Amino acid sequence: MSLSPFRFAIRMPSDHRVNSLTQTLQKVRSEGHSILDLTVSNPTRCGLDRPDPSIVLDPLCAPANLTYAPASRGDRRARVEIAQYYYTRGYTVNPDDLILTSSTSEAYSMVFRLTCDPYDRILIASPSYPLIHELAALNDIKTDAFPIHWMDDHWRSDLDKLPACIRPTTRALVCVSPNNPTGSVLSHSDYQRISACCNAHSIALIVDEVFADYPLDPSRPVPSSVDHAECLTFTLNGLSKVLSLPQAKLSWIHVSGPDHLKSRALEHLEHMADHYLSPNAFTINALSAWFAHTSRFQQPILQRIRNNLNHLSNLHQPGFRVLRPDAGWYACIQVDPRPGASQTDESICLNLLERYHTLVHPGFFFDFDQPGVLVLSLLTPENTFSKGISNLMESIAKAL
C-alpha cells in the first residue's frame, strides 16, 4: 500500500472543464442548428482559394527524405531558405542566427526555459494571444501584463507604463506584433524605446511576428525585429502563418542583440534543440519548393482579410464600433452597453450564439480590460462573415 495518494504536478490545471461558450456551442449544435462561425482561424479549413495540391504534396517525395540527417540548430539549407525569405522582406539575416523548431509554441517554450528560472516572470503586452499564459504556466513561469490601449483611433502599446511594470524577477518582455487579436504593430521607434528599457533592466525581448506578412494596408509593411541588436532579442515566426501551413510544423527563433549575449543564447538554444531534434525531414526538404510559391499561399488570405475589414469599416450603427487592426487575421468590435444594463462581452456572445447561432469570441478570453469587446476572425468566408455581422448588429440594436 502507498503511504500517500498519487498526485499530478501542480503545474497542471485544476480541471479541464470547457467554458460556458463552448458548452452553449455544443448544446446549439446538438439541437441540430448550423453555426455561423466567425472565429475560424485554420487557413486550411475556411474555403480559401488554396494553391494546387501538387504544390504542397509533390515536394514531399524528395529522395532526401529517405535519409535521416539530424542537425541540432536545424538543417542549414532550410535556415538559408528562411534567411532568403527575410531578404524578400528587406532584411539581411545570417542563417547561423536561426534555430529551427517544430512550432512557434515550442519556440516560446525554449526561449522561456532559456531566460527564466522557475517562478521568474515574463511581461506580456496585453490583450494578447491566450496561449502565451498557458505556455508560461507549463514552464513554471509567472506572467504580468503591460497594457495595449485603444487611443486616438489606434491600438498602441503604452510604452510610458513599461518601466513600472518590470519587477526584479522579470526576465523577458513578450510582444506579439502584429498582435493577436488587436492587430497592433510595433514601429521601429517603438522597438528602440522597448530595447532601451529592456537593456536598462537586463531583460530579454521576445517578439512573435507570425502575422507579419499580413498588413491590412498594402502600403504599410510590418517592421520585423530581426535587425534589432540593442538588446537580446528573440524573433519567433513559422510556416503556420507565413505559408498558412500549420500542418507542416516548422518554425524558427532568430536571435539578435549584443554579440556576447547573442552567441551564448545561440549555444544554449542549440543545446536544448539537440535534445529534441524536432523539425522533420519532409518539411525541411520541401521548404525551398514551398517558398517559391509564397505569394500563392498569402494572396488569397490577404484578399479575404482586406475584404472582410472593408465590409466592417462600411457599417455604421449606434453602439457598434470597429477597433481597426493594422495587420493580422483578427478584428475587434466595441459594443457599447446600454446605460445601466449589466451586459458583458460574454453575455453578448452567449445571446448571439443561442438566438442567432452566430459564434464570436468575448474579449475577456484575451484579457481586454475594457468591457464589451468582441473578437472576430477576418479569415471567415465573406458570406458567413457578412451574415454573422448583420446578426450581431441586429442583436445590438435590440439590446439598445
Per CB under 6 A, residues contacting ligand PLP are 103-105, 129, 176, 180, 208, 210, 238, 240, 246, 251
- Which residues contact residue 108 at a Cβ distance below 8 angstroms, ignoring those fewer than 6 apart? 132, 135, 206, 208, 236
Q: Which is nearer to ligand PLP, 279 or 388 (CB)?
A: 279
Question: Cell triple for residue 139?
Answer: 514552464
DSSP designation for 10 = T
Minimum gap (Å) between residue 297 Cβ and ligand PLP:
15
Q: Which is nearer to ligand PLP, 147 or 246 (CB)?
A: 246
Minimum gap (Å) between residue 358 Cβ and ligand PLP:
22
Q: Which is nearer to ligand PLP, 176 or 335 (CB)?
A: 176
Q: Which is nearer to ligand PLP, 108 or 385 (CB)?
A: 108
Question: Cell triple for residue 263?
Answer: 552567441
Minimum gap (Å) between residue 27 Cβ and ligand PLP:
26
Give the start-end residues of each E strand in the chain.
36-37, 98-101, 121-126, 142-151, 154-157, 170-176, 204-208, 233-238, 251-256, 320-323, 330-335, 358-359, 361-362, 373-377
Q: Which is nearer to ligand PLP, 238 or 362 (CB)?
A: 238
Minimum gap (Å) between residue 251 Cβ and ligand PLP:
5
16 burial (CB, 10 Å; 0-12 / 13-18 / 19+) is exposed
Torsion angle of C-alpha atoms 262, 119, 142, 4, degrees rounded to 10: 140
Chain centroid, CA 30 distance in Å: 31
Minimum gap (Å) between residue 215 Cβ and ligand PLP:
15
What's the chain's Rg over C-alpha atoms? 22
Q: Which is nearer to ligand PLP, 114 or 206 (CB)?
A: 206
Residue 45 neighbours by CB distance under 10 Å: 9
Minimum gap (Å) between residue 277 Cβ and ligand PLP:
18
Q: Which is nearer to ligand PLP, 356 or 365 (CB)?
A: 365
DSSP designation for 93 = -
End-to-end CA distance of the chain: 64
Minimum gap (Å) between residue 378 Cβ and ligand PLP:
13
- Which residues contact residue 132 at a Cβ distance below 8 angstroms, ignoring those fewer than 6 apart? 108, 124, 143, 174, 176, 208
